[in-house]
Amino acid sequence: MIPQSFIQDLLNRVDIVDVVGRYVQLKKGGANFMGLCPFHNEKSPSFTVSPSKQFYHCFGCGAHGTAIGFLIEYSGVGFVDAVKDLAQGVGMVVPDADDRLPPAQRAEAQARTLALSEVMTRACDHYRQQLRGAPNAIAYLQKRGLSGEIAARFGMGYAPDGWDSLRTVFPEYQNDALVEAGLVIDKSEEEGGDGKKSGKRYDRFRDRIMFPIRNTKGQVIGFGGRVLDQGEPKYLNSPETPLFQKGSELYGLFEARQAIREAGYVLVTEGYMDVVALAQLGFPQAVATLGTACTPIHVQKLLRQTDHVVFSFDGDKAGRRAARRALDACLPYAGDNKTIQFLFLPPEHDPDSYVREFGAAAFEQQIKDAMPLSRFLLKEVAGEHDLRTAEGRARAQFDAKPLLQALPASALRLQIVRALAQMTQSTPAEIEALFELSKPVARARVAPPRSGRPAPVGLERQILRLLVAHPALGAGLDQAALDVLARLAPERAEILLQLVTVSRAMGEQASFAALAEQLRASGSEFDDLIAEIAADQESDANAARLELAGALRQTKMKLVKTEMEQLAAAGLQTEEGRQRYRELMLLQDQLRREAEAEITQR
C-alpha cells in the first residue's frame, strides 16, 4: 500500500494542468483552463482545470478529480500505475510495501526500465523512417487498403531485410538492452558443432511490416511484425520482456481510447491488421489481443474503458475455442451494468473483408446483433448434448456449474439460472442448491452504503464543505470546536473527527487535491461535497476562515438556545437550573457581541 504521505507529496509536486494538457488541448480562461471534455462528446468546452485547487471538473458530465484520478479515468490504468506514472515524471520513487529491494536497487531497476523504453522508442522511429523508403512495404499496405494517415496514426514502420539493420541506429549493437528489449537475438551462448561459441547476434525483425505495441501511457513496449509474402510465422511478436507481457496488453488500446468513449463500446478482434483496417474503414474503436487468448487482465483493462465489450471471432472451430476462452475470462467481471457480446462472422470473412464486401452499415448491424454473454454461455453448456434425455440434461448442468460459480451474484446470474432451469427441466432453486448457489441473489453481498446517515444540510453542510475545501482550517480546530460540532451532529462526530485527523496529519502542506484523493480512497462519503467544491470558484482562505468562525458561532448559539428552551420548559425550579440559565444568557450575549464586532470589522 502506498503511504498517504507519499500521495500528498506527489500531488504537491505535479501540476494538474501539465498532466491534463498532455491529452486535452487547454486554453486559459480566467483563473482556470478550459477544454473539450475527454469523457463525453461536446462541441463547446465545459471541462475546467483549476491550478489553484489542482483539480479538474466537467460541468457537462460531472467528471472530476485530481491528477491521479484523471490518469485512472482517461488512460484506464489502476491507481498504483497512475501514481507510478506521475512519480516518474517528477523524479520520485514510489515506495512499495511488498517491494523489499533497497532504495538504491529499486532506483537502479527503474533506471533500467527507462533505458529499455528509450531503446524501444529509438527503434520505433527507425522502423517508421525505413517505411518511407521501402516501396515494397508501401505497396503492401496500399494493397490492404491502408492510407498513410492510418499508418502514421498507429506508428507503423518497416524492418528491412538485413541481419543487423538496427546497427545503423544503435552503433553500440552489443548493448545488452537490445537483447533484453527483444529487438536483437543473441546466439553468442550457443555452441556450434565444433564446440566453439558462434558469436552471432542479429535483428529479430527482418523484412516485416512493424506494428508498435503501446501501453496505456503511449510508450512503445513491444512490436508485432507481419511478413510481406507467404513466409512463416506470418506474425512475430516481441518476446516477454520487463516492459511487455502479452497476456496483459491489447494492441490499439492507446489509440482507440477516445473512439471507444464516442462509440460507447470496444470491439475486440484477433489481429493487428483487423485493428488498423477497421480504423481505416470507420471503426477506430477496435483493439486486438496479442496472439494469445483473452485473459482476465485484458477484460479488466477493457471494462475500465467502457461498460460494453464486443468480441469478434471467426466462425470456424478455432474462433469458437477463442470465444470460449474469452467467455471464461469475462465471467468474474460480468454484472448487471456490463454488456458483453460475442460476434461470429462467416468462416470465410474477417472484419476487414466483411466490411469491404458488405459495407460499414452491415458490419455495424452485425455488432448490434452480436450474441449476449448469457446466450453464448447457454449455447456452450448445451453443446451437442441431447436435452431430450436425462443424461443430456445432467451433462449440460455439469458443464454449466463452474461457469455459474464464476459469475458474481447478480440479476444477470439469476436470469441465466432461470434459463438453464427451463432448458434442463429443473427449477431455479434446484439449480442454485445443486451448484451451491443457494444464497438468494436478492441477498447477495452488496457493498453497503458508507452509513445510514442522512446527507448533511444547513450549518453542518456549510462547515463540512469549508473543512474539505480548506484542510488547513480543520487542522486548526481546537477540542472545544470539535465538541461543539459533535453536539451539532452526533451521528457525524466520527466522520468529522476523521476529517480533522487527516487534515492535521497533512500538516502545513495540506491541500484540497491531496485531501480529496485520500477521501476518495476511503469511500464515497464526501463525493458530493468534493464535486460541488470542484465546480465552484476558488474561495479565499481568509474569507473561508471567517466563514468557519461565523458558522461555529451560529452553531454555539443554536445549541445555547436549545438548552435554554429545555430549561425553561422544565420550569427552572432548581437553583442549579436557574444558575445554568443565567450562564447561558451571558454566553448568548457574548456570542451576539462577537458577531456584531466581526460585521463591523468587515
Does residue 104 register a pLDDT over 80? no
Band of residue 74 on the pLDDT scale cut at 50, 70, 90: confident
Which amino acid is residue 264, in one-letter code? G
**Per-residue pLDDT tens digits for 227-237:** 998 888 899 99
Whether the per-residue pLDDT at 106 is higher than 70: the answer is no
CA distance 149 to 109: 37
In this structure, is residue 371 part of a structural domain?
Answer: no
pLDDT at 531: 82
CA distances, 95 to each of 1, 87, 100 (Å): 8, 10, 10
Kindly provide the b/e burial profile for residues 368-377, where b requires at least 16 CB atoms within 10 angstroms of the residue's own CB. Answer: eebbebbebb
Instruction: Return the exposure string of 135-174: e unless at least 16 CB atoms fall within 10 Å of the residue's CB, then b.
Output: eebbebbeeeebeeebbeebbbbbbbeeeebbbeebeeee
Q: Are residues 337 and 406 in the same domain?
A: no
| Same domain? 465 vs 591 | yes
Total-model pTM? 0.67
pLDDT in tens, 128-158: 999 999 999 999 999 999 999 999 999 999 9
- Does residue 207 lie within any of the structural domains? yes
pLDDT average, residue stretch 59-76 = 89
Q: At residue 449, does pLDDT exceed 50? A: no
- Of 198-202, 298-302, 387-391, the poorest mean pLDDT is in 198-202
pLDDT exceeds cutoff 70 at 509: no
The candidate with the shortest Cα–Cα distance to 505, out of 495, 515, 513, is 515
Evaluate whether residue 415 is within a structural domain.
yes
| Strand locations in 173-207 (E) | 184-186, 201-203
Q: How far apart are CA 313 and CA 344, in angstroms?
A: 5
Determine the 3-state secondary structure of 554 from DSSP: helix
In a domain, 370, yes or no: no
Q: Are residues 182 and 227 in the same domain?
A: yes
Q: Which residue has the higher pLDDT, 28 or 122?
A: 122
CB contact set of 520 (below 8 Å; sequence gap of 6+): 65, 69, 526, 527, 530
Closest CA to 572 of 585, 553, 590, 559: 585
Q: Are residues 154 and 272 in the same domain?
A: no
Cβ–Cβ under 8 Å, residues 299 and 266: no
Look at the block and give the residue holding cell 471567517: 546
Instruction: For residue 354, give the nearest of 294, 234, 269, 259 by alpha carbon.
Output: 269
Q: Is 206 strand, coil or helix?
A: coil
Structure confidence at residue 446 as a pLDDT band (50, 70, 90): very low
Residue among 33, 74, 160, 180 at smallest CA distance from 118? 180
Residues 6+ apart with CB under 8 A from 480: none
Is-contact 241 249, C-beta < 8 A? no
Q: Cα 544 to the chain's mean position, in Å?
A: 34
Whether the predicted pLDDT of 197 surpasses 50 = no
Domain encompassing residue 42: 4-89
Residue 372 lies in a domain: no
User: 562 Cβ partners below 8 Å, 6+ apart?
Assistant: none
Angle at 206 between CA 201 and CA 211, to 5 degrees: 120
3-state SS of 54-97 is CEEEECCCCCEECHHHHHHHHHCCCHHHHHHHHHHHCCCCCCCC
Q: What is the mean pLDDT of residues 34-56?
A: 89
What is the DSSP secondary-structure string of 482-535? HHHHHHH-GGGHHHHHHHHHHHHHHGGG--HHHHHHHHHHH-STTHHHHHHHHH
**For residue 581, how many other CB atoms are within 10 A of its CB?**
15
CA distance 22 to 15: 11
Tell me how many domains the chain contains: 5
Kindly state whether residue 451 falls inside one of the protein's structural domains: no
Q: Is the same domain home to 348 and 393?
A: no
pLDDT at 490 (0 to 100): 66
The pLDDT score that the predictor gives to residue 135 is: 96
Write out the E strands in 191-334. Answer: 201-203, 208-214, 220-227, 235-237, 266-269, 286-288, 308-314
Contact of 99 with 23, CB cutoff 8 Å: no
| CA distance linking residue 334 with residue 338, whole number of Å | 6
Task: Find the largest Cα–Cα distance for the chain.
Answer: 114
Which residue type does 537 have?
Answer: Q
Domain boundary among 89, 119, 141: 89
Phi then psi dihedrals of residue 285, to 5 deg:
-90, 20
* pLDDT for residue 97 is more than 70: no
Q: Find the CATH number of the domain harbouring 541.
A: 1.10.860
At 557 the pLDDT is 81
Phi, psi of 202 (to 5 degrees): -155, 165
pLDDT score of 453: 45
Of the chain, the end-to-end C-alpha distance in Å amounts to 47
Whether residues 584 and 465 share a domain: the answer is yes
CATH number, domain containing residue 394: 1.20.50
Q: Indicate whether 72 and 167 sit together in one domain.
A: no
Question: Is residue 103 in some structural domain?
Answer: no
pLDDT in tens, 240-292: 998 998 888 999 998 998 899 889 999 999 889 999 999 999 999 999 999 78
* Residue 183 cell numbers, joined: 529487438
- Residue 42 and residue 357: Cα distance in Å, rounded? 34
Q: Are residues 428 and 474 in the same domain?
A: no
Q: Is the domain of 84 the same as that of 118?
A: no
Residue 174 counted as domain residue? yes
Sheet holding 157-159, edge to edge: 157-159, 208-214, 220-227, 235-237
The answer to whether the beta carbons of residues 44 and 127 sit under 8 Å apart is: no
Say if residue 534's pLDDT is above 70.
yes
* Cα–Cα distance, 475 to 455 (Å, whole number): 23
**3-class secondary structure, 118:** helix
Higher pLDDT, 525 or 122: 122
One domain, residues 478 and 597: yes
Based on the domain organization, do 8 and 60 belong to the same domain?
yes
Residue 518 CB burial class (10 angstroms; 0-12, 13-18, ≥19): buried
List, for residues 318-371, the tens digit of each pLDDT value.
889 999 999 999 999 998 989 999 999 998 998 999 999 999 999 999 999 999
Q: Are 268 and 310 in contact (CB under 8 A)?
A: yes
Mean pLDDT of the chain: 85
Please give the pLDDT value at position 445: 38
Within 8 A by CB and 6+ apart from 298, the residues are 247, 248, 250, 268, 289, 329
Same domain membership, residue 567 and residue 535 = yes
